[in-house]
Amino acid sequence: MLLPNGMRPTWAKINLENLAFNFHSVKDFVGKDLMYMAVVKADAYGHSAFKCAQKLEEAGVDCFGVALPEEGLELRNNGIKKPIICLGGFWSGQENLLLEKDLSPVIYSLEMAKRINHFAKKKRILANIHLKIDTGMGRIGVRFEDVKDFIGCFKKFKNLHLAGLMTHFAAAENLKQNDFTNTQIRRFYEALEIFEINGFHPFYKDLANSPGAIVHTNSRGNMVRLGGVLYGLSGDILPNEVKKPVLRPVMSLFTRIAYLKKVPKGETLGYGRTFKTKRNSEIATIPIGYHDGYNRLLSNCGRVIINGVFAPVVGRISMDWTTVDVTDVPKVKVKDEVVLIGEQGKLNIRVEELAQLTDTISYEVTCGINNRVIKICK
């Protein structure tokens, strides 16, 4: 990959064709008679939100999910026309932004409803909102047992249109907790029935996240929210025991060798002197570190691919640099390409591998690849 002159040679490649493939693959698997929300919050899980949204809009998604109105504004400013739902609601002072940019907030309190209704009334418009029911996740949302009381007060807000009702699963990926997931589904539909009895008929009935959509057929409602699976992240969020759609990785991460040095047997490397050479070694220094999202917990246990072979990370990863033992790498030289996530020849390093080594999930790995890393979307 050729980067502009003067740029640090550390970059992520975002494969937009694989992104579109994943959407169609999941849609074929889950069903074509449903609506699909593409979740592009957190910069599309680190994959470049507006570029991914442009590709997914072209591919036919029905709407987009973001966390913050600011994220929705970025999409609108880059030409996205499809509905945008702000899953995290909004903060006081953002009401006009929502209404002017046609962003639909998820609300979860009467105070939020009151504020958005006030501004909608001033503009003489009907504002689309989605309401979140807390069926067991325990974060935000109207508690399922409080729905009747909520509706009694909600009815007075005449400038709000309840476009959608939603919830969020706590453990849809864990088959051992199916009973709890089914309890959440039951609570949601009981809440929906109460709304309908009271004259509200939300168009969007939205329960399922990625594992819910694929694993729990009774959770699909009429719209599902696709997050990690769009980006090919499934190894640690979908159970191994179930059938699943074919997915392709979207992000690859690369850098180049900046410096090579000979290090005698018995010398230590890096902060804390956590690695000692067991032989006369050749050590490569590569320009990526934990500030770029290459986790410090990969120190002395991670690996990269150089010239068709795996090479171990040695010593403690620092903020800007990582050292790699390239003693066994053939014909190694400065500027050789280094694969940190992705494939080279028959070798492959998946995001899930890094997640397992750092005791986290693949979502956190890709979200951590920050804007100091050039992202090339194509």
Indicate whether 244 belongs to any domain.
no
Structure confidence at residue 1 (pLDDT): 60
Indicate whether 365 belongs to any domain.
no
Final residue in a domain of this structure, among 199, 231, 263: 231
What number is the average pLDDT over the span 291-299? 98
Structure confidence at residue 4 (pLDDT): 64
Structure confidence at residue 6 (pLDDT): 78
Indicate whether 121 belongs to any domain.
yes
Instruction: Tell me how many domains the chain contains.
Output: 2
What is the set of active-site residues? 41, 271
Residue 94 has pLDDT above 80, yes or no: yes
What number is the average pLDDT over the span 318-339? 98
What number is the average pLDDT over the span 48-57? 98
Structure confidence at residue 2 (pLDDT): 59
Average pLDDT value over all residues in the chain:
97
How crowded is residue 28: how many other Cβ atoms within 10 Å of its Cβ?
Answer: 11
Structure confidence at residue 309 (pLDDT): 98
Q: What is the pLDDT of residues 216-271, one digit of tens each?
A: 999 999 999 999 999 999 989 899 999 999 999 999 999 999 999 999 999 999 99
Domain that holds residue 324: 251-349
Task: Supply the CATH number for residue 115's domain.
Answer: 3.20.20.10
- Rounded to an integer, what distance in angstroms lies between the CA atom of residue 105 and that of residue 168? 16
